[in-house]
């Protein structure tokens, strides 16, 4: 695996602030630490980004002072040039989308012909799709950390054609990761979850962008899907016709709390003789500081998986073993999606053990002779 110490960190941003200015603005790191790193952080400035403002909240307009303009093809070519410049300085390039949540692009782009036509005729496309196309054409791995539907069927086909790797979507760092643990625990215990209500408020720019309905809807869809796998996997508790539960997600923008996100959940389950069991949780977390270590993990593992072969065959185009890190994981086989904390972690660690020549976990404990 690559050593994260050897990373050359660069990227695009619609805001032209250097990393020192951005760190001061965000109020996430301690001021004393930021000042110690001032010279290093000030030297890192973002490349000009591409942006389709129609797909993000209008309240982001005041940040957009570092934006390129052009046709779809011109913008893709600009991003490809930036990637080639990064390739010239490094052994390998990985692109990780950590930008604003965009609204869903509907209807989905189903065919390559449709995709090519939208590019040529300069139809409205979200920035994430243009970045993704550029990455695929440059054969660099693209990891989607936001919930919008960047990976349309035509995008996946394009990645397969170019031998590129994709993974996503939407980082699973705090409340949603805990929700996958709780669904494992409750349904695995034979308790029928009947209602899950999740409330969040946060004050960082992510919260500001999600304060508009068109972008919030993408996040709502992503967060809502995490229980689907656990429900589908247990037809005894959830027989056909009774496989729907009350699941609500609320996100509110409260500037005062900054990056310190508040997450409240209520899990109500049906128990013996129509009784009810309710578990309520309250979690305060630093949103960015939860996410960044996961970014490092998925870059390290994504780089490894882009090199791995199984029986002479490359993995991909979807690196589904990275599903552990995403709220709404996509796979190469749509009929087989795992969205369970325990199963995702077991699958990932056992793959790494096999690749290292170590026997995968045998949870039967038969070697101990009962």
Give 275-294 pLDDT, tens digit per residue: 999 999 999 988 899 999 99
Residues 323-335 have pLDDT tens digits of 999 988 888 987 7
Residues 97 and 36 in one domain: yes
Same domain, 25 and 143: yes
Question: What does the pLDDT look like over 86-127, one tens digit per residue?
Answer: 999 999 999 999 999 999 999 999 999 999 999 999 999 999
* pLDDT computed for residue 126 by the predictor: 96
User: 47 with 108, same domain?
Assistant: yes
| Mean pLDDT to the nearest integer, 258-287 | 94
Mean per-residue pLDDT of the chain: 93
pTM score, whole prediction: 0.92
Domain total for the chain?
2
* pLDDT per position as a tens digit, 127-143: 999 999 999 999 999 99
Reduce the secondary structure of 276-309 to three states and give it as a string. EEEEEEEEEEEHHHHHHHHHHHHHHHHHHHHHCE
**What pLDDT does 170 receive?**
92
Name the CA radius of gyration of the chain, rounded: 22
In a domain, 109, yes or no: yes
Q: What is the pLDDT of residue 369?
A: 76
Whether residue 100 is found in the same domain as residue 84:
yes
Percent of the chain's residues with pLDDT above 90: 78
Of the pLDDT bands very low, low, confident and very high (cuts 50, 70, 90), residue 219 is confident
- For residue range 336-348, what is the model confidence (pLDDT) as tens digits? 777 788 888 999 9
Claim to verify: residue 217 and residue 143 sit in the same structural domain: no
Q: Among all residues, which ones are annotated catalytic?
A: 170, 219, 261, 327
| Domain match, 18 and 148 both | yes
Token duo for residue 222: 């992503």
Is there a single domain that holds both residue 165 and residue 241? no
Comparison of pLDDT for 363 and 323, the residue scoring more: 323
Q: How far apart are CA 370 and CA 364, in angstroms?
A: 9
Domain of 230, in residue numbers = 175-286
Strand pairing report for 309-310 and 313-314: antiparallel
Indicate which CATH number applies to the domain containing 269: 3.30.360.10
Residues 205 and 111 in one domain: no
Is the same domain home to 300 and 196? no
In whole angstroms, how far apart are CA 185 and each of 178, 242, 269, 301?
11, 20, 12, 27
Point out the least confidently predicted range of 12-21, 122-131, 176-185, 261-270: 176-185
The answer to whether residue 58 sits within a structural domain is yes
Q: Are residues 202 and 298 in the same domain?
A: no
pLDDT category at 224 given cuts 50, 70, 90 is confident
Residue 35 clears pLDDT 80, i.e. is over it: yes
pLDDT digits (tens, 9 = 90+) for 171-190: 998 888 889 899 989 998 99
| DSSP state, residue 272 | G
Nearest CA among 348, 325, 261, 266 for reference residue 97: 325
- Distance separating alpha carbons of residues 116 and 220, to the nearest angstrom: 30
* Predicted local confidence at residue 225, as pLDDT: 75
| Residue 359 within a domain | no
Domain presence at residue 358: no
Q: Is residue 137 part of a domain?
A: yes
Asked if the structure places residue 369 within a domain, the reply is no
Cα gap 322→94, rounded to integer Å: 14
């Amino acid at each position: 695996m690559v050593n994260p110490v050897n990373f050359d960190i660069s990227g695009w941003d619609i805001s032209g602030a250097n990393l020192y200015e951005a760190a001061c603005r965000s109020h996430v790191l301690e001021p004393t630490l930021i000042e110690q790193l001032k010279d290093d952080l000030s030297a890192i400035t973002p490349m000009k980004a591409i942006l389709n403002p129609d797909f993000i909240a209008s309240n982001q307009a005041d940040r957009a002072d570092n934006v390129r303009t052009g046709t779809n093809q011109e913008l893709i070519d600009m991003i490809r040039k930036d990637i080639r410049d990064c390739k010239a300085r490094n052994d390998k390039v990985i692109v990780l989308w950590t930008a604003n949540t965009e609204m869903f692009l509907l209807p989905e782009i189903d065919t390559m012909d449709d995709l090519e036509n939208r590019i040529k005729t300069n139809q409205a496309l979200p920035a994430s799709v243009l970045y993704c196309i550029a990455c695929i054409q440059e054969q660099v791995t693209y990891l989607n950390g936001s919930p919008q539907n960047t990976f349309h069927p035509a995008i996946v086909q394009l990645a397969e054609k170019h031998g590129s790797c994709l993974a996503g979507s939407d980082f699973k760092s705090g409340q949603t990761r805990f929700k996958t643990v709780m669904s494992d625990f409750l349904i695995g215990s034979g308790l029928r979850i009947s209602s899950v209500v999740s409330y969040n408020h946060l004050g960082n720019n992510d919260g500001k962008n999600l304060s508009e309905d068109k972008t919030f809807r993408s996040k709502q869809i992503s967060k809502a899907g995490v229980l689907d796998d656990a429900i589908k996997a247990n037809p005894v508790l959830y027989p056909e016709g009774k496989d729907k539960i009350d699941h609500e997600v609320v996100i509110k923008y409260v500037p005062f709390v900054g990056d310190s996100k508040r997450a409240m959940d209520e899990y109500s389950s049906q128990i013996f003789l129509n009784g009810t069991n309710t578990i309520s949780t309250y979690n305060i977390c630093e949103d960015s500081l939860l996410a960044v270590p996961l970014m490092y993990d998925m870059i390290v593992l994504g780089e490894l998986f882009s090199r791995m072969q199984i029986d002479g065959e490359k993995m991909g185009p979807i690196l589904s073993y990275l599903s552990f890190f995403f709220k709404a994981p996509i796979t190469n086989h749509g009929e087989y999606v795992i969205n369970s904390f325990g199963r995702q972690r077991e699958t990932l660690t056992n793959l790494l053990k096999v690749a290292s020549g170590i026997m995968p976990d045998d949870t039967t404990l038969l070697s101990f002779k009962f």
